[in-house]
Amino acid sequence: MAEYRGCQLPEDLFYDLDYVWLRLGNDGLITIGVTDPAQTMGGRVLSVHIKKLGTALRPGRHVATLESGKWVGGIPVPFAATVAERNEALLADPHLVNVDPYGTGWIARLRPDDPEGALRGLATGEPAVSALKQWIDRYDVECMRCSD
Amino acid sequence: MQNIGEAFTHDHRRLEQALEASVAHVGAARWDEAAATFAIFRRGIERHMEVEEQVLFPAVEGGAETPLTAILRKGHRDLRVFFDELDDALQARDAEEYGRIAASMRALLERHDEKEEAELYPAAQARLGADAAAAAARLGG
């Protein structure tokens, strides 16, 4: 896994090159979460709201809202989709976003309206890592892995 | 001469009041009044952000984006999504969703406005000098 200024940047995920990572599952659902540099910039997440199951989202709309002591942010979906699953563990313990952003800190699973085109236009692999490094420099982020 | 900090901070408070008025109207199911006050809020805050993006940010940057202006631009992008979501909730007459989105956006605005008032406006005032009054006047009434 690539690492830059302490931030972990998995090459096998898809990215909107802002807050969000995405992972395609074998069942066609797409998991969404926030990147390591984004969780660092936000600080310790204190509360999370995830849209209800079955909510239809247009591209750019928020699937979730995270709030920390110093930041509030919506998590946008890059494609039209329906909320198929919510991370109930995250609702109970929002800090999981900081502890394990690519694992247990996932936010929701989405059913894309256009399964074949959903991830088209998103970045992955080395180009994504390169662009995320620029994002990290732009916002002057130094990643820290939170513990419990 | 009205300076940047006074003018833009006053506008923040004016816009907060418009947002709170819309939330109160939604809570009381006064949908027409809610739509009218939300329109005042949205028109005003779009104007406010436009002047910041067109005048204050470039003045502070001097040709190169800084971490401060990058994070403030990002805040503006996030806020615009919340505006659309509030509009959706208003159209759907969904008071619960409107209140929830407004609460999140209010928290975002508080942090965003604090940063602007503490860091952006003093820096812009210093850089704009004699042009500061013209920038403040662009906010309108």
Tokens at A86, concatenated? 């919510």
- Minimal-distance CA residue of chain B relative to A52: B97
Any idea how long chain A is? 148
CA–CA distances in Å: residue A88 to residues A53, A93, B103: 11, 9, 22
Q: Measure B125 CA to nearest chain A CA, in Å.
A: 23
CA–CA distances in Å: residue A109 to residues A28, A29, A140, B78: 10, 6, 30, 22
Tokens at B75, concatenated? 């805040």
Q: Which of A94, A118, A119 is nearest to A104 (CA)?
A: A94
- pLDDT of B141 strictly over 60: no
CB-nearest to B78 from A67, A73, A138 is: A73
CB-nearest to B85 from A18, A61, A67 is: A61
Radius of gyration for the alpha carbons in chain A, expressed in angstroms and rounded: 14
Q: pLDDT tens across B50-69, in order?
A: 999 999 999 999 889 998 99
What are the pLDDT tens digits along chain A (148 aa)? 999 999 999 999 999 998 899 999 999 999 999 999 999 988 999 999 999 999 999 999 999 999 998 788 899 999 999 999 999 999 999 999 999 999 999 999 999 999 999 999 999 999 999 999 999 998 889 997 665 5
- pLDDT of B139 strictly over 60: yes
Prediction ipTM score: 0.80
What span, in angstroms and rounded, lies between the C-alpha atoms of B91 and B94?
8
Q: Where are the alpha helices (DSSP H) in B3-141?
A: 4-27, 31-51, 57-61, 67-91, 95-115, 121-128, 132-137
Q: Measure B1 CA to nearest chain A CA, in Å.
A: 34
CA atoms within 13 A on the CB side of B65: 14
Q: Measure B120 CA to nearest chain A CA, in Å.
A: 16
Are B81 and A67 an interchain contact pair (Cβ–Cβ within 8 Å)?
no
Burial class (CB in 10 A: 0-12, 13-18, 19+), B48: buried
Q: Residue A73: what pLDDT?
A: 87
Tell me the β-bridge partners of A48: A66
Q: Residue A145: what pLDDT?
A: 67
What span, in angstroms and rounded, lies between the C-alpha atoms of A87 and B121?
40
Tokens at B111, concatenated? 């942090």
Residue with tokens 């007459």: B93
Using pLDDT thresholds of 50, 70 and 90, give the confidence band for residue B87. very high
Using pLDDT thresholds of 50, 70 and 90, give the confidence band for residue B11. very high
Mean pLDDT within B18-41 = 97
- Kind and range of the H or E run holding A35: none
Residue with tokens 């563990």: A89
Q: Residue B77: what pLDDT?
A: 92
- Kind and range of the H or E run holding A140: none
The CA dihedral of A28, A32, A37, A42, to the nearest 10 degrees, is 180
What span, in angstroms and rounded, lies between the C-alpha atoms of A134 and A72?
22
Q: Residue B132: what pLDDT?
A: 85
Task: State percent of chain B over pLDDT 90.
Answer: 83
Is B81 in the A-facing interface, judged by CB distances under 8 Å? Answer: yes
- Minimal-distance CA residue of chain A relative to B85: A61
What span, in angstroms and rounded, lies between the C-alpha atoms of A140 and A55?
35
Tell me the whole-structure pTM to 2 decimals: 0.87
Q: Residue B1: what pLDDT?
A: 46
Three-state SS at B5: helix
